[in-house]
Amino acid sequence: MRYYSTRSKSQGLSFAQAALTGLAPDGGLFVPELIPPYPAAVQSSLGTMDFHDIAFETIKPYVQGEIPDPVLADLVHAAYPFSAPLVQVGDRLVLELFHGPTAAFKDFGARFMARAFAYLRRGEDRPLHILVATSGDTGGAVAAGFHGVAGIEVTVLYPKGRVSPLQEQQIAGLGGNIQALAVEGTFDDCQRLVKGAFSNQALHKKRSLSSANSINIARLIPQSIYYAAAAGKAFAGKCDTPQGASPWDERKPAAPGTVSLKPGEPITFCVPSGNFGNLTAGLYALKMGAPIRGFIAATNINKTVPDYLDSGLYQPRPSQATISNAMDVGAPSNFERMSDQWSLEALRQILQGVYVSDEATRRIIRDVRQSQGYFLDPHTAVAWQGLNQICPGASLPGPVGILATAHPAKFAGIVEPLAGPVPVPESLTHVLERKPRARIIPADSSALLEVLC
């Protein structure tokens, strides 16, 4: 498999080169030369396969010839001591992506990346320096995934005052090979600083740089795994029973699920969307052959992509702060991948866009806890309400799965005044004891270069 920049098809790179480089030298994002289909035997067995086997079959064609099959099998087993349960909450299916160590969907990409990088750089003497911009959960997942990994240093940039306190503890509370920078600006400023650093040739001479945002193809590909696994289950007419970290209100009996799953029906996923890496990974899973009918991209007021789907004009804009902070992205990086690999008309066939206000987000957090005994974090609430707005009083054909991208305990300051005390999963209890240690810098490229040089 060769990988090309979204801005130039003249030179293809290997998976290792694309992953370890992160951002293409011309500022584009790496995309595979093709999105490989699942073998027929795999495609027909997604509903019965073990999660690790689906992970192996999903990633394998992208790394063929660079990561041997036995090594890849070990990598996915080490990366995923957890899975992604598809559970019933009332008349909805919820794909819970917060059962990993940082209680957010970013664990699926970051943990594979850390292990793949360690393998691909075996024998290297020069340290690899990873730069990552985060609007919240990416930073914590990358910090946890790479903490203590020999030969790799990480610098995480996050917008000062625009992540939750627990997210800041995850990002800036580890120390060691993890350095945290609190930027006086927005996530878009953080992303701009990182992209500027990658284009700085003088910095490249001093450091080996890579990325860990979803701009890195090695972060994005593993996120296709849980789409394929969940779609396979739903297509087989199955779902999961709630597991330990599922955020049910212990004081209120869970309302019985009322989803009627019929074998043979493809699923629609409603995806809370900010930088659009998660949605792009879903598009990859669909094109590989997972039984997916389509997607709903639910954003907050930062509705650049929903507006594009409506008007056909892509107009990035400054981000606006909301209570669903990880989605406060006005210029989503992965739109470049989406528009490179799918035309506007092709996207309109499989993707609907919707945006949700903070007021509606707060209301749905309260209402779902009261009616179902289930806690939603603000991002999952955007998806829940986005689905309400797309089909008020009606149903989409086939099952619909809402992606629950983070545990609500990570946003207790927002959720608890609306819904009461949130159960804290074991993965987060130890984080509450960390003291964040971040260096504050202005949103200026010279400030970042001063830190890195």
pLDDT in tens, 87-123: 999 889 999 999 999 999 999 999 999 999 989 988 8
Question: 83-105+219-426 has which CATH code?
Answer: 3.40.50.1100
Helix, strand, coil content of the chain in percent (nearest 5): 45, 20, 40
Confidence grade of residue 137 (pLDDT, cut at 50, 70, 90):
confident
Max Cα–Cα distance, the chain, nearest Å: 61
Strands across the sheet with 152-159, in order? Answer: 208-211, 128-133, 152-159, 178-184, 439-442
Percent of the chain with pLDDT over 70: 98
Q: Is 421 helix (H, G, I), strand (E, B) or coil?
A: coil
Q: 8-13 and 3-5: which strand pairing?
A: antiparallel
Selection from 262, 257, 323, 332 nearest residue 297 by Cα: 332
pLDDT in tens, 214-237: 789 999 999 999 999 999 999 999
Name the residue ranges covered by the structural domains of the chain: 83-105+219-426
Mean pLDDT in residue range 53-72: 97
Q: Is 184 helix (H, G, I), strand (E, B) or coil?
A: strand
Residues designated catalytic = 106
Amino acid, res. 128:
L
